[in-house]
A and B are shown apart, each in its own frame.
Chain A
């Protein structure tokens, strides 16, 4: 019991200490590509501290939904983070079918975000909420297709066994996993509002999706929202890196952890490179990008089924 709590605390400590660093790295890579020095990689931490010392201001038209959304968003990523094995840290919470809990906890936090955006009564936030709802429908389709393919590959429906450190499926540059990785990467970019889908830096209301939904949040609430989205990005990257590093497992805990952290660093650089080299897609083309992600995962699924 005590050990279980200890493991949970270590897991949380790992995720919640490193998540803002991941965002900071992406920003740093983007600054490097723009020929700038850029803020320190620890800037997200400073921002969070600064925001948490500020006062929350609520509009008179908002109700409890608006105040609940940041808490729900942060709480759901807290729980989700327990289901995901990261490096040598095994997932403290694992049971058969926990991928459904993961997907729907994320959906819950998204639902509250959309509801809080609508609660403000601001038409721009309504537009952002509508886009978020539409794109998340499609990205959820691709996400589930990925999970189904992984489940067929590994014959299990628990995330820890699907991507965990203990299972060594014969990777061997298995092309099915390449498809899953490519598809999951698109889902990662879409779910976390990175560039081909949404621009995390822009403050032009007409083009924003995620950023426009949190326009009215301030102070600690805003810090919660930022923290939740940073952790979400970190967790998605963690899943992707765990899939990628399965063939490089050595069994040595220190080496495995280093491989995992190197993978995360590489992914942060890759996201940064994509953000600096691509433009945002037009909104009506995002749909096709997500459908491509679905098609890739479906293709992988067909091959897996076909091999029997």
Chain B
């Protein structure tokens, strides 16, 4: 089972890296959906010997919320706003990939000196969750569009969720559900805001110049 958890963790980091190298926003959203799906499967492997209703509920809610609903809302936002689908990074893709791999190395190095309480099922979960958080953070700060920043935020949240799985036993279900709902609402609101920003700009005469300098979306 440990090998499956390890593989899941590595896939999550790999998808974060792949998002860093993707040119199209739609492609980013699809990879994010895949990442969330893998993330949703990890609890099954983590608690394979004692599969409780709670584990199944968490896994299914994660897959449905993050793997299906959030990508759907983001895709809907993109379709409605009819924004151009290229990602515009502050730093180039090649540099992003190299910096991303350095961040991963940093996360692994930091995790060497982190000792967590509780049983360690797979020791890859901690460094991989840290790497995912860092990569999500990097996507947030280096990609200029509103949608990509939402995506970066979601990837960061995926990393935090992976981290939370380590402390699964000490965390009440209600809080987990609350967090998931918060995220869902946050993405929903962001999608609506993106939509409205666009409508405002369509009416505003400064739309052209704004998109040159402001990089709102």
**Cα separation A294 to B17 with both chains bound (whole Å):** 12
**Cα separation A299 to B108 with both chains bound (whole Å):** 10
Closest A residue to B9 by CB, please name it.
A175
> Given A291-B97, A295-B97, is A303 in contact with B18 using a C-beta cutoff of 8 Å?
no
Q: B100 interface residue, CB < 8 Å from A?
A: yes
Q: B172 interface residue, CB < 8 Å from A?
A: no
Q: How many residue pairs between the two chains, A and B, have CB atoms under 8 Å in the bound complex? A: 61
Q: How far is the CB of B28 from chain A (nearest CB, A)?
A: 14
Q: How large is the interface on B (under 10, 10 to 19, 20 to 34, 35 or more residues)?
A: 20 to 34
Q: A306 interface residue, CB < 8 Å from B?
A: yes
Chain B residue contacts of A179, Cβ below 8 A: 10, 14
Q: A129 interface residue, CB < 8 Å from B?
A: no
Q: Is the CB of A296 within 8 A of B7?
A: no
Q: Is the CB of A178 within 8 A of B7?
A: yes
Chain B residue contacts of A288, Cβ below 8 A: 21, 93-94, 97
Count residues of A near B (Cβ-Cβ below 8 Å).
Answer: 19
Closest A residue to B18 by CB, please name it.
A292
**Cα separation A174 to B9 with both chains bound (whole Å):** 12
Closest B residue to A172 by CB, please name it.
B3
Chain A residue contacts of B14, Cβ below 8 A: 179, 296, 299
Partner of A303, one of B23, B97, B109, B124: B124
> Given A178-B7, A179-B10, is A303 in contact with B100 using a C-beta cutoff of 8 Å?
no
Closest B residue to A174 by CB, please name it.
B3
Q: Is the CB of B105 within 8 A of A298?
A: yes
Q: How far is the CB of A301 from chain B (nearest CB, A)?
A: 9
Q: How far is the CB of A191 from chain B (nearest CB, A)?
A: 19
Q: Say what secondary structure dominates the interface of chain B.
A: helix
Q: How far is the CB of B202 from chain A (nearest CB, A)?
A: 31
Q: Is the CB of A175 within 8 A of B17?
A: no
Closest B residue to A298 by CB, please name it.
B101
**Cα separation A298 to B111 with both chains bound (whole Å):** 17
Q: B127 interface residue, CB < 8 Å from A?
A: yes
> Given A288-B94, A291-B97, is A303 in contact with B10 using a C-beta cutoff of 8 Å?
yes
Closest A residue to B93 by CB, please name it.
A288
Q: Is the CB of A287 within 8 A of B13?
A: no
Closest A residue to B131 by CB, please name it.
A299
Q: B112 interface residue, CB < 8 Å from A?
A: yes
Chain B residue contacts of A175, Cβ below 8 A: 3, 6-7, 9-10, 124
Partner of B21, one of A172, A173, A292, A299: A292
Chain A residue contacts of B21, Cβ below 8 A: 288, 291-292
Q: Which of B96-111 contact A (CB under 8 A)?
A: 97-98, 100-101, 104-105, 108-109, 111
Q: B201 interface residue, CB < 8 Å from A?
A: no
Extra inter-chain contacts (12) besides given A291-B94, A291-B97, A302-B104, CB under 8 Å = A288-B21, A291-B21, A292-B17, A292-B18, A294-B97, A295-B17, A295-B97, A296-B14, A299-B13, A302-B105, A306-B108, A306-B112
Q: Which residues of A contact B (CB under 8 A)?
A: 172-175, 178-179, 285, 287-288, 291-292, 294-296, 298-299, 302-303, 306
Nearest 9 A/B pairs, CB to CB:
A295-B101, A175-B10, A173-B3, A175-B7, A291-B97, A306-B108, A175-B6, A298-B101, A288-B93
